[in-house]
Amino acid sequence: MNKKTAFLAVVAVLLMAGSMFVRLEPRQRRLYQPYLIRLAVLGSLVLGGGAALAVGIHLRRREARFKRLRAVDRAVAEGETWLLLRPIDARPVEVEKIRLWQRLAYAQPADEHFSFEVYGNSQSQGLVLHASQHKARTVLGEFFQEWPDLQRRPAGDADPALVPQGWHTYWVEVGPASAEKPIAISSQDPLLGILSEIANVPAPTRTVVQVIARLDRATRSRLGRMSERMRSSEAESAGQRYQHTRQARLLEERGKRIFLQAVVRVTALSPSPAEAHRTAVALANTVCSQFGPDNPVIILARSSARNPINLAARPITGGAIRSWADDEIATLAHLPGGDALKFAPLLSTGSAKSLPAKPDLRIPQQARLARYEIEGKG
């Protein structure tokens, strides 16, 4: 082993140790801190003061980043959950015309994630939004802009992510196989297919599909770099050059979209662990089947005893995060119209729209009002 290899090995060990240290809970940090100090001293002797300082700065930055992420996770976990309702006679939704997620991607604070959810079983179905207290106001404002007839109610104890005492959960996370290719739908409205499957889940088992998302700042620039490499790559023939140019154009076209990082988590809650497992897998397969084969949506992760999740906290860190373009995630996460009742008959809806009085029943503004009393017979 030469000096360069030894140098890189020591750097790798220090970075790995520091990365693991900043992820520990405060009590665990106090336990392992003496060992890390000894390792840092040894590393400084091997690497010299300059290299050790660079490693220290890197570790400090990572620790600051993880502190920010933990603060965001805490704000979201302590946030608000709102039931989202549309009138029973609301217009059907044209999925291709939804522009909601272009605006939601930049809803402030942009680095905070939020969760759009579809839930229910054979006895009831519904949709909810969960976000930090500050983010919820911004996101709800965008929903109202997209659907002015939206009605909202605090979920309270009806939060579908709250797990009853003694119940079991099983979750499956799904997402696209690739971020470079478009995600095409295989049905007119994927949400209706998902609601139909949820409406067939026998009670008391309950299902929740969470679309937990935040702004993706990296995918557009990565697609741009891929396009540049494709155009500058050498081609052995005119046909290969054509393919490179075509692929570069597709990447550039996709790079014009706004992207979000999202975890799509499909969960079943049930008194029976076997029923929770069966229901979650079946619903996850239904979600996947709503999208086409060119860039399929596939199962990425499953529930594990080694990786427990607090469902009500809506965590995104540690999940199977994938990049979705704004128009792609809109096909999965939007408010349906009144036609959704054909697929989910017990979907929670808002009150009917109030209509203005007929013209012949209105009181003219210039009319004077007089008191009129009817005296009873003595």
Task: Return the pLDDT at 378.
Answer: 45
CB under 8 Å to 24, separation ≥6 — which residues?
A: 32
Coil, helix or strand for 376?
A: coil
- Per-residue pLDDT tens over the stretch 200-257: 999 999 999 999 999 998 999 999 999 998 888 888 888 888 888 888 898 999 999 9
pLDDT of 31: 67
Amino acid identity of residue 257, one-letter, is R
What tens digit of pLDDT does each residue of 131-179 get? 999 999 999 999 999 999 999 999 999 999 999 999 999 999 999 999 8
Q: Is the dihedral of CA 269, 101, 95, 292 positive or negative?
A: negative
Which residue type, as a one-letter code, is found at position 72? V
Band the pLDDT of 6: cuts 50, 70, 90: low
Per-domain residue ranges of the chain = 3-75, 80-218+256-342
Query: Of 43-57, 82-96, 276-290, which gets the smallest average pLDDT?
Result: 43-57
For the segment 299-353, what is each residue's pLDDT rounded down to a tens digit?
A: 999 998 787 899 999 999 889 999 999 999 999 999 999 999 999 999 999 876 5
Provide the 10 A C-beta neighbour count for residue 259: 24
Q: In the chain, what percentage of residues exceed pLDDT 70?
A: 79
User: Vertex 331, ends 325 and 332: CA angle to 5°?
Assistant: 100
Q: How confident is the model at residue 49 (pLDDT cuts 50, 70, 90)?
A: low
| Cα distances (Å, whole numbers) of residue 148 to 133, 143, 152, 348 | 21, 8, 11, 17
- Residues of the chain with pLDDT > 90: what percent? 60
Query: Topology of 80-218+256-342 in CATH?
Result: Vanillyl-alcohol Oxidase; Chain A, domain 3 (3.40.462)
